Amino acid sequence: MSVILAIESSCDETSVAVCNNGKITANVIANQTIHQNYGGVIPELASRVHQQNIVPVIQQALIDAKVSKKDISAVAFTRGPGLLGSLLVGVSFAKAFALALDLPLISINHMHAHILAHFIEDPKPNFPFLCLTVSGGHTQIVLVRDYSDMEIVGETLDDAAGEAFDKTAKILNLPYPGGPLIDKHAKKGNSLAFKFPVPQIKGLDFSFSGFKTAVLYFIRDHVKENPNFVEERLDDICASVQYSIVHILLNKLRKAAQEYGINEIAIAGGVSANSGLRAALEEEAQKQHWNVYIPAFEYCTDNAAMIAIAGYHKFLKKEFVGQDIAPTSRMEF
């Protein structure tokens, strides 16, 4: 019998989940709307709001899971990567909570947890599988051999795919967070209306810095000719940008699948909630005869359920850490 209390505070979501014998029984997320006023996450504000949210979110998770503090077997927490101030709140609370109740601590890599979100619900991928992990800060292709045996076989050399979405949204004067709005407008647009350059990067690595610059110059040049260009063609611009980013991702994923001879394919991270990426992956799966695994929307963005399921598998192996553990903004994969 194991009841894992999990805390996620790597960016601007304060989330707490409970995992009871491998099953998620609570997953509470408190979002921070204050950052919409600034067009992006302000680290200092994020850490302050985490301090306000952490206790009520813990209490609500225990209520939802119908457990009390005395039922908990261990405390799992995101150690990194993420915003240091935000991580500090979650890690400090986890350590204090565990110390007060004499519970073991479980340190979780945020990116590992995104991948293990696939083991929250059925269907679950079979080992080994390839996982395309895409978020605002990371773009990786990971070879997953086991719950704890993972290897990055391709990653971005500069900017992440999620950042390319968000920066495009900012160029188009869409409110923060802009990625989901790109997706929303793309559904109404023509994905072949405009063509953007594909980065020529060898191997399985990615690069999106040049792509962002190309979008910036494209908008700048067209607005010079027609000041109303963005308003008139917003849907087509979003559809074309999304189409380009999705196909950059899938081209590398297809190459990785061929190179490693694997047809078990998964996606994870915040950008895996993008409807264009999901649809394109399903279409590619039909062509390549892949078995594709996509988490439910609630487990794509940052959440504590993925920390809880990762903590559960570490708990089974008794992989605990001491009270001297500290958060880190850049955690080794």
Residue 11 lies in a domain: yes
Whether residue 234 sits in one domain with residue 308: no
pLDDT in tens, 272-286: 999 999 999 999 999
Whether residue 265 sits in one domain with residue 140: yes
Query: How far apart are alpha carbons 62 and 55 in whole angstroms?
Result: 11
Query: How far apart are alpha carbons 230 and 217 in whole angstroms?
Result: 13
Contact 186, 239 (CB under 8 A): yes
Contact 6, 304 (CB under 8 A): yes
Residue 332 lies in a domain: no
Mean pLDDT, the chain, integer: 95
Give the residue from 269, 308, 275, 243 showing the smallest Cα distance to 131: 269
Strands 129-134, 105-109: parallel, antiparallel or unpaired by DSSP?
Answer: unpaired
Whether residue 162 sits in one domain with residue 219: yes
pLDDT in tens, 171-194: 999 988 888 999 999 999 999 999
Domain CATH number, residue 239: 3.30.420.40
Domain count, the chain: 2
> Which amino acid type is present at position 306?
M
Range of the domain at 45: 3-115+300-316
**Listing from the earlier edge strand, what are the strands of the sheet with 139-144?**
150-155, 139-144, 129-134, 264-268, 291-293
Residue 109 lies in a domain: yes
Residue 147 lies in a domain: yes
Residue 176 lies in a domain: yes
Give the residue from 26, 25, 21, 44 showing the smallest Cα distance to 34: 44
Q: Kindly report the CA angle at 207 between 131 and 259, in degrees rounded to 5?
A: 45
Q: Would you say the C-alpha torsion 55, 60, 61, 62 has a positive or negative sign? A: positive
Residue linked to tokens 């599988």: 129
38 — pLDDT class (breaks 50, 70, 90): low
Residue 328 lies in a domain: no
* Predicted local confidence at residue 333, as pLDDT: 84
Q: E strands of 97-250, at which residues? A: 105-109, 129-134, 139-144, 150-155
35 — pLDDT class (breaks 50, 70, 90): low
pLDDT in tens, 42-67: 788 889 989 999 999 999 999 999 99
Query: How far apart are alpha carbons 79 and 90 in whole angstroms?
Result: 8
What is the arithmetic mean of pLDDT over 22-38?
Answer: 84
Lowest-confidence segment of 32-41, 71-80, 87-96, 179-188 by average pLDDT: 32-41
Whether residue 157 sits in one domain with residue 245: yes
